[in-house]
Structures are given as C-alpha cells and as structure tokens.
Amino acid sequence: MAKTGFLTDTTVCIGCKACEVACKQWNQLPADGYEMTGDSYDNTQTLSGSTWRHVAFIEKSGRKRLTGDVDLVALAEGVREELPEGAEIDGLGRWTFMSDVCKHCARAPCQQACPTGAIIRNEFDNVYIQPDVCNGCGYCVPACPYGVITSVPEDGRAFKCTLCYDRQKDGLEPACAKACPTDSIVFGEVEELERRAEERVRELHERGYTEAYVYGTEEVGGTGGIGGNHSKFILMDRPETYNLPAAPELPQEKVGPAVAASAVAAAVLSAAVALAFRR
Amino acid sequence: MRENGRHARGSESSHHPGDSYYNIPPIKRPHWTWEIFVYFWVGGIGAGAHAVTTIARLLGHGDAALLRAGRYITLGSMVLSPLLLISDLGRPERFYNMLRILKLRSPMSLGSWSLFLFGSLSGLIATAQAAQDGLLGGGNPAARLARAVPAQILSALAMPFALFVGSYGGILLAATAVPMWARNALLMGPTFLASSFSTGLSALSLALKLGRWGEKGTHAALRRAERLALVAELGLMAASLAKMGKYGKPLYGKPLAPLFFGGTVLGGILAPLALLSGRESRPRGILASVLVLLGGLAFRYVMVEGGKRSADDPQATFSHTRKEG
Ligand code: SF4
C-alpha cells in the first residue's frame, strides 16, 4: 500500500475552519464548549482529544504604516514591486492561518512509547490508535513533541487524528481535505505530496516570498530520528509562530543510553551496599 | 470531553509575537495523578529493600531478621505498586494490555514487565518466608510446598528486574518531549535508583529498629550503606541540576522549590546524613530513616510535578528543541 498523508499549505488557507468542523462531524467528536479566549478569533486554541484539526489564527502587526494611495489589490495579489510612499508588502501586517493536525511521523514517538501496542501503523502507514486496545496509561501524551495526542478524561483513553482511516478504506479522502474550499489541505501519497510541496515552495520563492519553506521534512520539523512527517506544511514564518517545534527529537533515542547509565548506577550502588555489609 | 484540550497558559507571561502562539503550550503534559509519584516511591522502596537483602545474603550475611524484613517490605511494595498503577489508568479494567506485547523502545512496557516479574517472584519469595515463619501453619501441603520454594535462587533471579523497577521511573520520564526531563536523560534513571536504594535501606532499618530486631552488626551495616547511598543521591542530584540548567526552573520556582530544597535536599539527604554520621542511637536512626523516606516521596513528587510545569512553558520547549542552553 502506498503511504498517505497531508500537505497543508498555509499560504492559501482562509481560516474558514471548514476542516475543523468537517473533522468533528465525520468523526462524531463532541464540542469543546463555548470559551472565548480574547486572544484572537481562534477560540479552539489547540489540538486535543476532541479536536483533531485546529486552525490557528496568527496575527502579526505590520512593521510599517501604509500611507497615501496604496493599491490594495496589488498588495493582496502579492505584487512585490515598489509601492507608493515606500510602503512595504508586509505593511498591513499579516493574518496567517494554519490548519494543524497530527504529523503522522515516519517514526512516531507516540507509537514507540505505547506499551500496549494500541498505537500502530496501519496499511496506509498512518499512525492509528486502536481504541479497543488503549488502556489510557497516558504515556503517549508527553512523548509527542508536537502536543497532538491527548488524553480525554471523560473517556480515559487518548485520541488524535486517524487520517480518516475509515474513509481511506472506502477510497475516500479524509473529511478535512474534502471540505477545504481552497485546497489548502491536500490529501495524497506522501511522495506525490513531497513533489507538490517542493514545486509550490519554488513558485512562492519565484514570486518573491523567499520565506516559504516545507515543515515536516527530516531537516525541519521531522528531525532528530523522527524521519520526517507524513503530514507536511508550507509555512511562511518561524515554526514557533505556528506553535510548532523547530527541531524536535525522537524521545526514544534516549532509552538505550539511559538504560546503560542506570545499569552502571546499579552496579556502583550494589557495590556500595556490598562494601557496607562486608566490613 | 471538555477539559482535555484546554490548557493552563504557559508560566511565561511575556508574549513576543512570533515566538509562540498566545503562550499556549506546544506540548501536552501527562494526566498522571498522585498515584504515579506515590508508585515511583513505593516501588522504589521495594526494589531497594530487595536489592539490599539479596546482596547481604549473597555475601553470606546471615541475619534472619534482615531477610525477613526485606522480604515482607518487598512484598508489601509489590502488592501496592500495581494497584496504584492500575488505578491511574484511564481504563483500569484493561490493565492486562500492559502485558499484551513487549516493546524494548518503550520504558513503560519494560517497566510493566519488570514489575510483573519482580512482583511475582517477590510473592513466591515472601510465601516461602511466611512458611518458614510458620504463618502458613505446620504440616499442611501448601505450607510444605511453600517451604520448598528456592527463595535464595529466586531472589538472585529477581535482581535485574528489581533494579530496573528502581530506576525506570526516571528513564520513563526522560524519554519524553518534556524539556526538564529530557534534558537530564542520562541521570534520571541513576538518580531514581539512588533514591530507591536510600529509601529501601531506610525502610529496612526503620522496620528493624521499631521491632528491635536484628543483630548489632546488621544495624551498623545498614547505617554505613545508608550513608553511602545518600552521598550518591546527593551527588546525582547536584549533577542533575547542573545538567538541567535553565530547564530545571520549575524546581527553583515558587511552589516546588521549598519542597525540593527543604524536603528532599535538606530534610531527605543532608539532615539524615548528619544524623547518621554522628553518635549512634536508636532515636537518631529512626528519625534519619523517616526523613529519608519522606524526602524520597518529596523527590518523586517534585520530579513529576516539575515536568508538568516544564511542559506548560512554551519557551522551554522551543529553546529545548532548538538545542539552546
Ligand atoms: S505528531 Fe504526535 S500524535 Fe502524531 S504521529 Fe507524531 S508523535 Fe504521534
């Protein structure tokens, strides 16, 4: 089976949250309440056990004020020519959106942490929690470097995006990708998505947006033994702006050395006890 | 499903646009409640007590009172441990899934298996001890069977699992994305194990002192061993703080610092060291043991709780993943 994943292009996301809603509807996820953050129009805040797609609203104020008669259409179209009155393309500030989701890591920390084998890689090479096996130990939660997988107290188990395993089995694309009106979310085979991402970044660079890059590669985002992510993103700012770590590590790389260090400590402490009892 | 996604805001209140997303933690803290740090403590005591009595026995140290105390303490700890762990599960009725597979990359899996094996063996060993002590009655077949259990051999066999139970709490925490734990990956297991030895030794000497059991030589040996274990623990803790650097902030910070420095370092290590180094007396020994035991509990608490606070701090996670400081 081909490996599947997402490519989420933040440059065309309009913040409609259709993906969030479609995900909730298809997966029958409960509402998160009616809490106003006062931070932005994003009241969801974060991915959780009951929110598997989350659209972040990133407001960055402009560096320069626009003065005079500015061609707003040219601005919106991303024209990078000299603007009247020395205004900058970023002068209006930026309001970026980003639809976050489980990264479906190539070597997934949550899956390696899981003691019951509830978290598996399915035939599409997606990271999937078997709900009938999970016993709610919660160890996958701090293992995920992206804060994706979350325990649901009312249920006891951990939940996250399944990449619509059920829909894929029936040959359908995931609900979020289906609902996205701008194709900011594209579902497909990982290799195909990688090609597409590179092409898009090249296109953006040509148009003057040299800050565009792909997040979820072995160089950025999918680093430190994680081996890249099947969910990739095209970002326009530092990863932290989107609440993403720049260069996370696979936490399990530490298990071997930590066990070895503990074995040395065990030998030394045992020797100390032996010494005390010999005299 | 309300609570789960809503997070305590990061402790850092200053928000620099571009540096974080409204200070919402980028990673999630574990749900673990009080059972977990109490388990780390109780399991550590059992592991330490088993290790000490087994080593003493292997060296030909023949005090029956020490052996008896060690075996019953270990049994008690191994009865409590799984109960604590199971009650912390989101789905306690599925606890047996912990033994569904063995995963070498998962400290939680390794720990579950070690606990299962060490716990089962300590049950057999304690049964043999009970039969020897006449607790199972005289001539009945069960008692005779129990007396036939090769307790010595089983004790030696249980050693690696006991030592792993004593240390894996630290390894388990270290193998996560939580900055405070991950930064100190190599020393977490050893520090937990040193505390496991010191609390195990203290439990033994407390039991022997309270019951006025055991030979004089045993008490002296325990005292020497306690001192050595405490020195090791102190050294490892100092090294851990150095290794954690700025990521150890939750331990220096407001709610946890008094407990960590007052309860663990001063009350749980330095004070007992002073008590154990001076004139030997029964009350002093008892006080030292109690202090070490409480200090060990405080240590488990601040380590687990500190990690949760570390996970809530976006700047800690971001600079940790950028390999800063
Ligand atoms: S992003 Fe987190 S939850 Fe998703 S596969 Fe990776 S470790 Fe697991």
Tokens read off for B110: 């390794």
Can you spell out the DSSP letters for A27-58?
A: HTPPP------SSSS--S-S-BTTBSEEEEEE
Kindly report the length of chain A.
Answer: 279
Reply yes or no on whether the pLDDT at B286 is more than 50: yes
Please name every residue paired with B148 in a beta bridge, in sequence order, or none if there are none. none
Using a 6 Å cutoff on CB, does residue A103 contact ligand 1?
yes
The per-residue pLDDT for A142 is 98
Q: Is A117 on the interface with B (CB under 8 A)?
A: yes
Reply yes or no on whether the pLDDT at B167 is more than 90: yes
* A234 annotated as belonging to a binding site for a ligand: no
Q: Is B15 on the interface with A (CB under 8 A)?
A: no
The residue-averaged pLDDT of A152-176 equals: 98
* A82 annotated as belonging to a binding site for a ligand: no
The residue-averaged pLDDT of B232-261 equals: 96
Contact criterion met (CB below 8 Å) for A53 and A99: yes
Contact criterion met (CB below 8 Å) for A165 and A122: yes
CA of A231 to the centre of ligand 1 (A): 10
Residue A234, φ and ψ in degrees, nearest 5: -105, 115
The per-residue pLDDT for B8 is 40
The per-residue pLDDT for B135 is 92
What CA–CA distance (Å, rounded) separates B249 from B136?
A: 53
The per-residue pLDDT for A68 is 62
Q: How confident is the model at residue B78 (pLDDT cuts 50, 70, 90)?
A: very high
What CA–CA distance (Å, rounded) separates A232 from A101?
A: 10
Reply yes or no on whether the pLDDT at B14 is more than 60: no
Contact criterion met (CB below 8 Å) for A45 and A100: no
Atom 4 of ligand 1 has which residue's CA nearest to it? A102
Element (H, E) at B223: helix B216-244
For the stretch B116-126, pLDDT in tens is 999 999 999 99
What CA–CA distance (Å, rounded) separates A138 from A151?
A: 6
User: Could you identify the residue written with the tokens 């598997």?
Assistant: A52
Q: Is A27 on the interface with B (CB under 8 A)?
A: no
The per-residue pLDDT for B322 is 93
Q: Which residues of A touch B199 (CB under 8 A)?
A: none
Q: Which of residues 234-253 of B touch A (CB under 8 A)?
A: 236
The per-residue pLDDT for A81 is 58
CA of A143 to the centre of ligand 1 (A): 9
The residue-averaged pLDDT of B91-114 equals: 98
The per-residue pLDDT for A91 is 55
What CA–CA distance (Å, rounded) separates B245 from B230?
A: 23
CA angle B168, B57, B60 (to 5 degrees): 145
Between A7 and A90, whose confidence is greater? A7
For the stretch A55-66, pLDDT in tens is 999 987 655 555
* CA dihedral over A199, A233, A113, B171, signed as positive or negative: positive
The residue-averaged pLDDT of A159-163 equals: 98
Q: How confident is the model at residue B64 (pLDDT cuts 50, 70, 90)?
A: very high
Residues 6 or more apart whose Cβ sits within 8 Å of residue B186: A254, A257, A258, A261, B174, B243
For the stretch A91-118, pLDDT in tens is 556 788 999 999 999 999 999 999 999 9
Q: Is A219 on the interface with B (CB under 8 A)?
A: no
Q: Is B33 on the interface with A (CB under 8 A)?
A: no
The residue-averaged pLDDT of B206-232 equals: 97
The per-residue pLDDT for A74 is 61
The per-residue pLDDT for B80 is 98
A146 SS3 class:
coil
Average pLDDT, chain B: 93
**A147·B26 Cβ contact <8 A:** yes
Please name every residue paired with A121 in a beta bridge, in sequence order, or none if there are none. A127
Strand A4-9 vs strand A231-235: parallel, antiparallel, or unpaired?
A: parallel
What CA–CA distance (Å, rounded) separates B125 from A183?
A: 65
What CA–CA distance (Å, rounded) separates B44 from B145?
A: 30
**A133·B61 Cβ contact <8 A:** no
The residue-averaged pLDDT of A127-136 equals: 98
Instruction: Enter the DSSP assignment of B35.
Output: H
The per-residue pLDDT for A194 is 98
Q: Measured between CA atoms, how close is A205 to chain B, in angstroms? A: 21
The per-residue pLDDT for B293 is 98
Using a 6 Å cutoff on CB, does residue A49 contact ligand 1?
no
Nearest to B299 by CA among B223, B237, B247: B237
Nearest to B48 by CA among B194, B234, B221: B194
User: Could you identify the residue written with the tokens 């899934």?
Assistant: B97
Q: Is A258 on the interface with B (CB under 8 A)?
A: yes
> A70-84, A91-105, A157-171: lowest mean pLDDT where?
A70-84
Between A251 and A73, whose confidence is greater? A251
Q: How confident is the model at residue A40 (pLDDT cuts 50, 70, 90)?
A: confident
What CA–CA distance (Å, rounded) separates B113 from B24?
A: 36
What CA–CA distance (Å, rounded) separates B38 from B32?
A: 11
Q: Which of residues 178-217 of B touch A (CB under 8 A)?
A: 178, 181-182, 185-190, 193-194, 197, 201
Nearest to B169 by CA among B189, B140, B191, B144: B189
> A37-46, B52-61, B164-173: lowest mean pLDDT where?
A37-46
The per-residue pLDDT for A70 is 62
The per-residue pLDDT for A209 is 86
Using a 6 Å cutoff on CB, does residue A110 contact ligand 1?
yes
For the stretch B294-322, pLDDT in tens is 999 999 999 999 999 999 999 999 999 99
Q: Measured between CA atoms, how close is B319 to chain A, in angstroms? A: 9
What CA–CA distance (Å, rounded) separates B6 from B4?
A: 6
| Number of separate helices (H) and strands (E) present in chain B | 13, 0
The residue-averaged pLDDT of B32-43 equals: 98
Q: Residues B91, B95, B99, B100: what is their CA dihedral angle, to the nearest 10 degrees?
A: -40
> A214-223, B10-19, B90-99, B211-220: lowest mean pLDDT where?
B10-19
Pocket residue to mutate for ligand 1, from A8, A52, A100, A102, most atoms within 8 A of Cβ: A102
Using a 6 Å cutoff on CB, does residue A146 contact ligand 1?
yes
Q: Measured between CA atoms, how close is A75 to chain B, in angstroms? A: 22
Kindly report the length of chain B.
Answer: 325
The per-residue pLDDT for A87 is 60
The per-residue pLDDT for A95 is 81
Nearest to B295 by CA among B256, B253, B266: B266
The per-residue pLDDT for B19 is 76
Instruction: Enter the DSSP assignment of B303.
Output: H
Reply yes or no on whether the pLDDT at B21 is more than 80: yes
What CA–CA distance (Å, rounded) separates B31 from B89?
A: 10
Amino acid at A12: V
First-to-last C-alpha distance (Å) of chain A: 66
**Residue in B98, B101, B105 nearest the CB of A112:** B105
CATH label, B34-324, candidates 3.40.50.620, 1.10.10.10, 3.30.540.10, 1.20.1630.10: 1.20.1630.10
Query: How many C-beta atoms surround the C-beta of residue B34 within 10 A?
Result: 12
Give the nearest chain B residue to A277 (CA atoms): B221
Q: How confident is the model at residue A84 (pLDDT cuts 50, 70, 90)?
A: low
